[in-house]
Amino acid sequence: MKKILVIHGPNLNLLGKREPDIYGKFTLEQINELIKKEAAQLKLEVKIIHSNHEGEIVDTIGNASSEFEAIVINPAAYTHTSVAIRDAVSACGLPTVEVHLSNIYSREEFRKTSLISGVASGQIAGFGIQSYILGIKAASYLINK
Amino acid sequence: MKKILVIHGPNLNLLGKREPDIYGKFTLEQINELIKKEAAQLKLEVKIIHSNHEGEIVDTIGNASSEFEAIVINPAAYTHTSVAIRDAVSACGLPTVEVHLSNIYSREEFRKTSLISGVASGQIAGFGIQSYILGIKAASYLINK
Amino acid sequence: MKKILVIHGPNLNLLGKREPDIYGKFTLEQINELIKKEAAQLKLEVKIIHSNHEGEIVDTIGNASSEFEAIVINPAAYTHTSVAIRDAVSACGLPTVEVHLSNIYSREEFRKTSLISGVASGQIAGFGIQSYILGIKAASYLINK
Amino acid sequence: MKKILVIHGPNLNLLGKREPDIYGKFTLEQINELIKKEAAQLKLEVKIIHSNHEGEIVDTIGNASSEFEAIVINPAAYTHTSVAIRDAVSACGLPTVEVHLSNIYSREEFRKTSLISGVASGQIAGFGIQSYILGIKAASYLINK
Amino acid sequence: MKKILVIHGPNLNLLGKREPDIYGKFTLEQINELIKKEAAQLKLEVKIIHSNHEGEIVDTIGNASSEFEAIVINPAAYTHTSVAIRDAVSACGLPTVEVHLSNIYSREEFRKTSLISGVASGQIAGFGIQSYILGIKAASYLINK
Amino acid sequence: MKKILVIHGPNLNLLGKREPDIYGKFTLEQINELIKKEAAQLKLEVKIIHSNHEGEIVDTIGNASSEFEAIVINPAAYTHTSVAIRDAVSACGLPTVEVHLSNIYSREEFRKTSLISGVASGQIAGFGIQSYILGIKAASYLINK
Amino acid sequence: MKKILVIHGPNLNLLGKREPDIYGKFTLEQINELIKKEAAQLKLEVKIIHSNHEGEIVDTIGNASSEFEAIVINPAAYTHTSVAIRDAVSACGLPTVEVHLSNIYSREEFRKTSLISGVASGQIAGFGIQSYILGIKAASYLINK
Amino acid sequence: MKKILVIHGPNLNLLGKREPDIYGKFTLEQINELIKKEAAQLKLEVKIIHSNHEGEIVDTIGNASSEFEAIVINPAAYTHTSVAIRDAVSACGLPTVEVHLSNIYSREEFRKTSLISGVASGQIAGFGIQSYILGIKAASYLINK
Amino acid sequence: MKKILVIHGPNLNLLGKREPDIYGKFTLEQINELIKKEAAQLKLEVKIIHSNHEGEIVDTIGNASSEFEAIVINPAAYTHTSVAIRDAVSACGLPTVEVHLSNIYSREEFRKTSLISGVASGQIAGFGIQSYILGIKAASYLINK
Amino acid sequence: MKKILVIHGPNLNLLGKREPDIYGKFTLEQINELIKKEAAQLKLEVKIIHSNHEGEIVDTIGNASSEFEAIVINPAAYTHTSVAIRDAVSACGLPTVEVHLSNIYSREEFRKTSLISGVASGQIAGFGIQSYILGIKAASYLINK
Amino acid sequence: MKKILVIHGPNLNLLGKREPDIYGKFTLEQINELIKKEAAQLKLEVKIIHSNHEGEIVDTIGNASSEFEAIVINPAAYTHTSVAIRDAVSACGLPTVEVHLSNIYSREEFRKTSLISGVASGQIAGFGIQSYILGIKAASYLINK
Amino acid sequence: MKKILVIHGPNLNLLGKREPDIYGKFTLEQINELIKKEAAQLKLEVKIIHSNHEGEIVDTIGNASSEFEAIVINPAAYTHTSVAIRDAVSACGLPTVEVHLSNIYSREEFRKTSLISGVASGQIAGFGIQSYILGIKAASYLINK
């Protein structure tokens, strides 16, 4: 069974507890359940990690290629500031799907630039937790292409 | 049965015939077959239009709300230049999914700005013809939310 | 009796039906009635056209000088993107009044630049449907100057 | 009888005396006569002030709300540099019409930005002294809305 | 006999009738006669179209590759705003010569950027109607290269 | 007893009367009472002036060094436009505390630049009338340093 | 007794040891003593942390709302680069005071932009270690408001 | 005997008293003596005014043309912010020499832009009080040209 | 017989020897032969110079008007950096054709700006050595106009 | 024997394993061997660390001055985003050599800005692993200066 | 007798012969006569050079300090493009007066930036040939200061 | 024995004589001695040239490939302004090392952009005369690679 890696970036551990009008009422645990269910339906094994640390995310991606076939990543705030994660995605060589809960293009000016999208296979943004579900589907397509 | 509108923007009629290394080897007709099949599976009726004319796309969106529940649009070149399509999307009030075949963020500088994304529900870009399939799924979610 | 041309740009056909809090509750037909009444009071014949098509608006302006004495135009979305309409206004040689329902200067950044205003005789913006009425008056002044 | 305030900004006292090819041959006194006549026709009392002093204009607007129903202001050079007048307009809460004799959008680059228009009800520019007449009419509409 | 396509963009139908000091005193019909004569001398068949509609120009270019060997286009105002025409030129795969009557680099700031030139084979600008004649010659070279 | 100068910039005379949701419900008189009370507790004599006139504020600061030990200034709108006040602060040589009622960094773009902060000793912004109280304390520290 | 959290950002552990002419001669330990004394006088319990790790600061703020009433943060270098800390401050919902030892507006260009200030309650900058003392006072006001 | 007007802008009253290393050790009174002596040698009558008020400077220039043959102005801080003084200089029609004590081009970024220089006859900057002396000579030349 | 001047700018002496994939396989000598042949056919005498020295090119253009009727110049690298050559072209008063071998608009960003084109009669770019041939033809037209 | 610190920034642990055409075929271990050999020849003791964590690099530099005489750092992705590492380098007071394997000036736009170079003693970029060897030599010079 | 160096930059050899409406009707020789006369009156020996070559001007300035007491330079086109002349002026250590015939601030955008003015003692611009005369006087002041 | 070319750009002839605090106390002759000694140790023959003339440097590089194996160049002021030298370096095809005495990234804004670095093999900056020594070593590596 093929394996994919799902990465939640900074502050996503707070989901469901705060600002539910923006980020929805689901907790990260509930989202993870949905991700696992979707992956199972697509015959994929999934490992999910969350980290607020840029370096930890870089470590994880750097080690990913020996274990995983694809990455689904919501880089959250690091979308806009991390060249290190960009370089890690580029170096690891895995098909990578960038997902965002909210439509980052209708928010603050600085959220309109993604350092990751230039090296990701593609992006999915604005569909709330469905962004993850669509992202898992997209990863599945990319693996089987 | 609910109905969605799929809009192909300028030059997409040339798909499969030219520059297959960039845009893939599928023709627009073949893509439309896949779109219809996916829509059928999701119990959605689908109407597909293609136009190279900004005004025609604006006309179509302006009339869409009485007949459709959601729009899936690949605005192609108009993504970067059409405030009129943006205003039409915003005015029509339907959930709208913006899709792109290629990863517009890893191409020319002027392709990195989307006038549409600020008013779309969400975007899906970079997965080739799967961007449309994921877009239909996303539209289905948005209708049923 | 002198004749003026009133041009409604893209999406204005949707007036009164959608987003009434922004654009008011009057339909384009009702606005046209008011325009005709005002023109009649000023002893002006008026022809009103609406188009979502940039090319059609360019065609219309290109042919206007043989029939009309002045133009009142709400270029709507094309205000910000159409060099073609700018060139048509400049080439036709008629006094031209640019009108906007809303105050375009208190909205999104990209709406603050008008490609038309550099060649229009003057602009009137922000007074809702009264922008058109004031625009007709202004056209009348310009003709009689 | 309702009362409106008309404010002439810096250097407008020189009208008619200098650069008549740009600003016309009417003096400020003659313009004021036309303004009063127009106001009278619209059953409005009008008070007209001129000042070259930003602070004086701010003082005047700050005190306007207890006596006037609307403001018609030609901020002239302060259009482009005065946040203080912008804040005064915003704070006074009166409907405010920004007028300009010339088409500020077809002149120097720095004249294309108005700090006032973002808080004004609307703008009228480019019609010479008729900008004031249209401005009085617009103020009348705003009061009676 | 090889065939080339000549495309006149928006407002060029007004040539010779208006602003002769800028665009010269020749009408589009007269220019077309000169173009045909030059083409004949170079043993080329020529089809000439004019359109004010961006979509129509895109349609025409999209269909050009089965009938023509090269394109000579004066995109006029669309030079500066149309990504759709750029994409059509790029997709059609024909050698394409961009021509301009006037020297676009000595006019308004926004005319200094051409979206077309990045995908055209070359540009010729500033020689009045001779820009077209030189353009036909250039197309002839490109075909025979 | 040491003496400090408190300067209120343009439109602050309108405090408490207008837009209380933004600027609070206290009037300038009430704020002045609190300022005096705080100064008294810190054994400081305080002189408070308000002016809507940039020149008057420049005059005042230019004469301040012979009478005062420090300045607390809310330059309001002049924060963003007055090089003259900046130069006066720099020339007078007194420790100067810049205060703002609101968080100027979460408002309009043009409010994010302060011409004064580069020459002030320090800034305090966003705490409503407490910005003044903290500012008096800061001035006290600066005097006694 | 209410509890506040004080966060020292990167490199502040080096205070007093290096570059004393810029950052003063006090060590972080001495500053912490002064902070605790001030907090005690205001009847506040205080927890102080220092970290050079962006992720650790995000972790800390993410967990702060269950234990603390307010945050005083000197984000140091992360002021200018961390969207993650910005998002954490915004998500945690606590009143947050941004403090800086030096006047960041009179230093290098890149130090003039704070990503934090847009979501902080207010800022205090330029008063050396007194910035912290004023920050504690400000936090006390915000808690009791 | 011909008469010229010398205008000292904001903060120049502080000359000689403060920051002598930047602006020199001469007071404004001493500079005025030198200006008068130079004017006398050139057979010119001279009137000298100083004001910290933008409006007052605009008033003065607006009234200058009936009494004076030329203006020598050191706009100081208003150099960079006053469109009103620019417009006054332009409207008054007198030859105008812009002078600066210091080399404004080797100071802060915002001091490198002069709103006045575009309408002045010429500029002289960087020679300390000799800038005034050279300015008087230049005015003399301009009058006699 | 009328005489034209052809100027080759910096590094064009290396043509044909290096980077033939970019600049073609013809040497400068071979290009000069083609230029002379074309000139002869058009009954023009031609003088050709090459220089890597900006000053030499300026010298040459400065002396050109007494001997030549038109200039054809490939300013190469100096296209983007030489105001001196621009001024020389403008001062010499001769019709001047700017030519480029490659399409400068599809290369590095800094090659997209031409300081020369604003004062040239017209430009021809992107046709390899045919750019020169077309340039000679254009010069011939300009002389005979 | 004097001691220097060599720091490898994010993703450099992947060297030799991935993208060998860009970064070369040497692993980090092999590079470290070469570094040690070079250091030994120069009579320097060397400590080498690698970290993907910005905070860890800041910690390390903050503690470096008591043990080391100089730093050689390849900040990799943090070159372009880390003010914290910049501040650490500046605060530690050690001579610091910035090295890069690739020529960062011929890659993506965002790689052309180094936040570190402003505080480093010097930079060496573009020589592959020889950048490190030259960097060790440079550090040796800086220590012995 | 003290000696000064006067440098005329590119294209100034064409003065009086071309574009007299912009640059005046005096030839360079006539200007040089006036310069010598003025220098003689001020008891200064003067050497005048003209060059169209940046390198020659750099050579001349580099050798100037052993022979001259001051430089008067009209860098003409090199004003806006030559860092080399800037560095030469800075390195030579002589007081240097930058002069311009025309008001460079009321011409093309690229002429508004002077690379020289940041290192010159002062600038004089806009007074035609009197700019040189005033420049000689200024140099005399600077030598005797 | 292999041969390398060392090029000193404008004003470097003044080294050691002026501004020794910035550029060091060594003369160009002394630096050349050190360069020759280093080259000898590396078994390289070296030719050293200095020129203040951009064209001469372009000439030299254009002829270099037949005689030399590598170039070490300190383009000095031309680093920031010469596309011609960039093109020469690119055309000559030799490995080229760009060196700078000072750290160009910690100086004026305009010195932070190098037109040369995009085509050089690598850069070495900030180590004073050791930049040259390291540059010779780097050239040696590049030749032997």
> At residue D95, does pLDDT exceed 80?
yes
What's residue K62's pLDDT? Answer: 96
The residues, any chain, with a CB within 8 Å of residue C30's CB and separated by 6 or more, are C16
What's residue G25's pLDDT? Answer: 85
- DSSP class of residue F68 equals -
For residue F104, name the pLDDT band (cuts at 50, 70, 90): confident
Q: CA nearest G22: which of G81, G116, G106?
A: G106
The total number of residues written for chain L in this structure: 145
Mean pLDDT of A98-118: 88
Q: CA nearest I71: which of I56, I90, I55, I52?
A: I90
How many angstroms away from the CA of B60 is the closest CA of chain A? 24
Q: For residues E142 and J20, what is the distance between their CA atoms, to the nearest angstrom?
A: 40
Q: What is the 3-state composition of chain I as percent helix, strand, coil, each rounded to the nearest 5?
A: 50, 20, 30
Q: CA nearest H117: which of H94, H85, H69, H142?
A: H85
pLDDT tens-digit readout, E124-141: 999 999 999 999 999 999
Pairing mode, if any, of strands D2-8 and D70-74? parallel
What's residue I79's pLDDT? Answer: 97
Q: For residues E104 and E114, what is the distance between their CA atoms, to the nearest angstrom?
A: 9
Query: Which chain H positions have a beta carbon within 8 Å of F87's beta carbon?
Result: 10-11, 76-77
Handedness of CA B118, B119, B124, B128 (dihedral sign): negative
K23: annotated active-site residue: yes
Q: For residues K61 and J71, what is the distance between their CA atoms, to the nearest angstrom?
A: 40
Percentage with pLDDT > 70 across chain B: 100
**CB-side exposure of D21: number of CA atoms within 13 Å?**
0
State whether G82 and A80 contact (CB < 8 Å). no
Do G and F touch (≥3 CB pairs < 8 Å)? yes
pLDDT tens-digit readout, L40-58: 999 999 999 999 999 999 9
The residues, any chain, with a CB within 8 Å of residue H27's CB and separated by 6 or more, are H15, H16, H17
What is the distance in angstroms between the CA of the first residue and the CA of the last residue of chain H? 16
What's residue A125's pLDDT? Answer: 96
> At residue F67, does pLDDT exceed 80?
yes
What's residue F23's pLDDT? Answer: 74
What's residue D46's pLDDT? Answer: 98
Q: For residues H123 and H99, what is the distance between their CA atoms, to the nearest angstrom?
A: 6
Q: CA nearest K26: which of K35, K17, K39?
A: K17
Return the ∠ at Cα B60 (arms to B57 and B64), rounded to 5°.
140
CA dihedral H36, H37, H38, H44 (to 10 degrees): 60
CB C26 within 8 A of CB B58: no
Mean pLDDT of B125-143: 96
For residue C52, name the pLDDT band (cuts at 50, 70, 90): very high
> At residue J46, does pLDDT exceed 80?
yes
pLDDT tens-digit readout, L107-123: 888 888 899 999 999 99
For residue E7, name the pLDDT band (cuts at 50, 70, 90): very high
Query: How many other C-beta atoms can be found within 10 angstroms of the C-beta atom of residue L26?
Result: 17
Q: For residues D55 and H84, what is the distance between their CA atoms, to the nearest angstrom?
A: 13
How many angstroms away from the CA of B98 is the closest CA of chain E? 17
Mean pLDDT of H2-11: 97
Type of residue numbered D95: P
Mean pLDDT of G21-43: 92
Handedness of CA C88, C89, C90, C93 (dihedral sign): positive
Q: What are residue H2's DSSP bridge partners?
A: H44
- DSSP class of residue J128 equals T
Find the closest chain K residue to H95 by CA distance: K127
Query: Which chain A positions have a beta carbon within 8 Å of G89's beta carbon?
Result: none
What's residue J21's pLDDT? Answer: 76
Query: Which chain A positions have a beta carbon within 8 Å of B114's beta carbon?
Result: 105
> At residue I110, does pLDDT exceed 90?
no
- DSSP secondary structure string for all residues of I10-72: TTGGGTTTS-HHHH-S--HHHHHHHHHHHHHHTTEEEEEEE-S-HHHHHHHHHTGGGT-SEEE
CB H101 within 8 A of CB H24: yes
Q: For residues D109 and J105, what is the distance between their CA atoms, to the nearest angstrom?
A: 34
State whether J121 and L141 contact (CB < 8 Å). no
Residue in G13, G14, G101, G108 to test binding to J, most J beta-carbons within 10 Å = G14
Query: Which chain K positions have a beta carbon within 8 Å of H137's beta carbon?
Result: 134, 137
CATH classification number, G2-144, choose in 3.40.50.720, 3.20.20.370, 1.20.810.10, 3.40.50.9100 = 3.40.50.9100
> For tokens 């002419």, what's the residue?
G21
Q: What are residue G96's DSSP bridge partners?
A: G71
What value does the mean pLDDT of chain D take?
94
Q: CA nearest I106: which of E90, E85, E118?
A: E118
C100: annotated active-site residue: yes
CA distances from K140 to H123, K2, K143, L29 (A): 19, 9, 5, 35
Structure tokens belonging to residue J37 = 């050999």
Do K and F touch (≥3 CB pairs < 8 Å)? no
For residue D107, name the pLDDT band (cuts at 50, 70, 90): confident
pLDDT tens-digit readout, K92-103: 999 999 999 988
Q: Where are the beta strands (DSSP E) in chain E?
A: 2-8, 44-50, 70-74, 96-100, 122-125
Which residue did the predictor score with more confidence, I74 or B145?
Answer: I74
Find the closest chain H residue to D56 by CA distance: H55
Mean pLDDT of L85-97: 96
Provide the chain B residues 66-125 that lie in CB contact (below 8 A) with chain E.
Answer: 76-78, 80-81, 108, 110-111
The residues, any chain, with a CB within 8 Å of residue J21's CB and separated by 6 or more, are none
pLDDT tens-digit readout, G82-101: 999 999 999 999 999 999 99
Mean pLDDT of K18-36: 87
Chain D contact partners (≥3 CB pairs within 8 A): C, F, H
State whether F106 and G122 contact (CB < 8 Å). no
The total number of residues written for chain K in this structure: 145
ipTM: 0.94
Residues of L forming the active site = 23, 100
* C11 Cβ under 8 Å from any chain B Cβ: yes
What's residue F103's pLDDT? Answer: 87
Q: Where are the beta strands (DSSP E) in D1-145?
A: 2-8, 44-50, 70-74, 96-100, 122-125
Which residue did the predictor score with more confidence, K109 or B45?
Answer: B45
State whether H51 and F55 contact (CB < 8 Å). yes
Which element (helix H / strand E) includes L123?
A: strand L122-125
State whether C56 and E51 contact (CB < 8 Å). no
pLDDT tens-digit readout, C17-41: 777 777 778 999 999 999 999 999 9
For residue J119, name the pLDDT band (cuts at 50, 70, 90): very high
> At residue I22, does pLDDT exceed 90?
no
What's residue L70's pLDDT? Answer: 98
Q: For residues E140 and E134, what is the distance between their CA atoms, to the nearest angstrom?
A: 10
Provide the chain H residues 44-63 that lie in CB contact (below 8 A) with chain F.
Answer: 51-56
Residues L46-59: b if buried by 16+ CB within 10 A, e if exposed: bebebbbbbbbbbb
> At residue F109, does pLDDT exceed 90?
no
Q: CA nearest A111: which of A80, A65, A142, A71?
A: A80
CB J62 within 8 A of CB G52: yes
Q: Is C1 exposed, middle or buried (0-12, 13-18, 19+ CB in 10 A)?
A: exposed
Type of residue numbered L50: H
> For tokens 């007048």, what's the residue?
D85
CA distances from C99 to C6, C45, C104, C128, D99 (A): 10, 19, 10, 10, 14
pTM for this one?
0.94
Q: For residues F95 and E144, what is the distance between their CA atoms, to the nearest angstrom?
A: 78
